[in-house]
């Protein structure tokens, strides 16, 4: 008889509460209050919120770096308290640093060995990851000389090295220039296509909007909104109409028709590009 048991979600957080004890006479700090969320396999889930809203604490609890005061977290059905649960996870912390004395390649070999990888396989995989993250030219350079964007990409490379099924990214584009940021975003899109689950936090909402399937919004340690991105951001009673090469007469006709049918005309005008797109178009070298 085939096993019909449903496979567990990539991540579950059940009624997570985390209280940080303070010194004598000081009040304890509640970083996360009764938080629950589920990340299904293959989806890109964005956790957003202002600084101090509890996003990083939640991520650390999922990774087993912090123990919950109450509640529990799992990764692919295994409790985060089990070391084994981290076998299928790649983690990129915010502003990662690595051993400065190692080169890019040596760093990946070090992390690969920690994941029980070795020999030719590890060498090949490390070089593949350097290529994927655009660091092949820096493979023999000491990490001490890496820029912030390069460190971020090296962080992604070490997170991907052992082919995890879940990737957790804490502010992956923090301090990275728009080109580097675009590169990271493209990588996340690539993970999605390969069926890798991604849990990402960022305060750059536009980027979250571009890559995420579902979003959770945290404030003061609580989940205040959660759902599919399209459902969350759609304005129910408004409709967007984008036309190319429309003459002023045509626009006037459309407006008259709309108003005659009881619709309220809110605005019209030229579409605008984003500042990021303008930056990238202006700074990218022309392809020969």
Partner 1 sequence: MNSNSFSPARIWTLATATVTQLVRMKIMAFLVVFCVIVVAAGFAFPVMNPEQQLKLLKDVSFGALQIFSVVIAIVSTALLLPRDLEDRTLYTILSKPVPRYEYLLGKLIGVLLLIGAGLFLMDIAFSAVLWLRQSLVLAQSVGALKQEGVATPEAIAQLTEFVGKQGLTWNIHLGVLAIFLKASIIAALSLMISCFASSTLFTVVISLLVTIIGHGQGLIREYFFSEGMNQIMKKLGSAVLAILTPDLGIFDVLDNVINGEIVSAISAGVMIGTAAIYVTGYVLVSHLLFVEKEL
User: For binding to partner 1 (CB under 8 A), which residues are involved?
Assistant: 20, 60, 63-67, 82-84, 86-87, 89, 91, 93-99, 101-102, 110-111, 113-116, 118, 155, 158-159, 162, 168
Strand spans (E) along the chain? 11-20, 29-39, 44-48, 70-75, 78-79, 89-92, 166-170, 197-201, 214-219, 222-228
Q: In this complex, which beta carbon is closest to partner 1, that of residue 114 or of residue 251?
A: 114
In the complex, minimum distance from the CB of residue 186 to partner 1, in angstroms, rounded to a whole number: 22
CB 279 within 8 A of CB 206: no
| Spatial separation of the C-alpha atoms in residues 154 and 183, rounded to whole Å | 13
Q: In this complex, which beta carbon is closest to partner 1, that of residue 88 or of residue 213?
A: 88
In the complex, minimum distance from the CB of residue 154 to partner 1, in angstroms, rounded to a whole number: 10
Q: In this complex, which beta carbon is closest to partner 1, that of residue 199 or of residue 229?
A: 199
Q: In this complex, which beta carbon is closest to partner 1, that of residue 14 or of residue 106?
A: 106
In the complex, minimum distance from the CB of residue 61 to partner 1, in angstroms, rounded to a whole number: 10
Q: In this complex, which beta carbon is closest to partner 1, that of residue 21 or of residue 264?
A: 21
In the complex, minimum distance from the CB of residue 201 to partner 1, in angstroms, rounded to a whole number: 14
**106 three-class SS:** helix
C-alpha dist (Å) from residue 288 to 284, 285: 12, 9
In the complex, minimum distance from the CB of residue 82 to partner 1, in angstroms, rounded to a whole number: 7
| Spatial separation of the C-alpha atoms in residues 58 and 32, rounded to whole Å | 7
């Amino acid at each position: 008889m085939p096993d019909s048991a449903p496979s567990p979600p990539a991540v579950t957080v059940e009624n997570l509460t985390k209280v940080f004890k303070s010194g004598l006479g000081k009040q304890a700090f509640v970083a996360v209050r009764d938080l629950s969320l589920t990340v299904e396999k293959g989806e890109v889930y964005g956790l957003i919120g202002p600084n101090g809203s509890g996003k990083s604490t939640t991520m650390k609890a999922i990774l087993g770096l912090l123990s919950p005061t109450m509640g529990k977290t799992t990764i692919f059905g295994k409790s985060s308290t089990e070391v084994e649960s981290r076998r299928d996870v790649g983690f990129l912390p915010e502003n990662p640093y690595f051993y400065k004395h190692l080169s890019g390649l040596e760093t990946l070999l070090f992390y690969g060995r920690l994941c029980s990888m070795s020999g030719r396989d590890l060498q090949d995989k490390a070089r593949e990851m350097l290529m994927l993250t655009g660091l092949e030219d820096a493979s023999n350079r000491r990490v001490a000389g890496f820029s912030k964007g390069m460190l971020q990409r090296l962080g992604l490379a070490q997170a991907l090295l052992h082919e995890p099924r879940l990737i957790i990214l804490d502010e992956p584009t923090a301090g990275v220039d728009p080109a580097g940021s675009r590169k990271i975003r493209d990588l996340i899109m690539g993970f999605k296509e390969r069926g890798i689950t991604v849990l990402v936090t960022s305060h750059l909402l536009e980027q979250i909007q571009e890559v995420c399937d579902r979003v959770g919004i945290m404030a003061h340690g609580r989940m205040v909104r959660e759902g599919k991105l399209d459902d969350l951001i759609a304005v129910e009673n408004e409709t967007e109409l984008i036309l190319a090469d429309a003459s002023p007469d045509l626009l006037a006709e459309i407006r008259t028709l709309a108003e005659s049918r009881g619709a309220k005309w809110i605005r019209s005008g030229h579409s605008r590009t984003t500042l990021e797109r303008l930056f990238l178009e202006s700074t990218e070298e022309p392809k020969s």
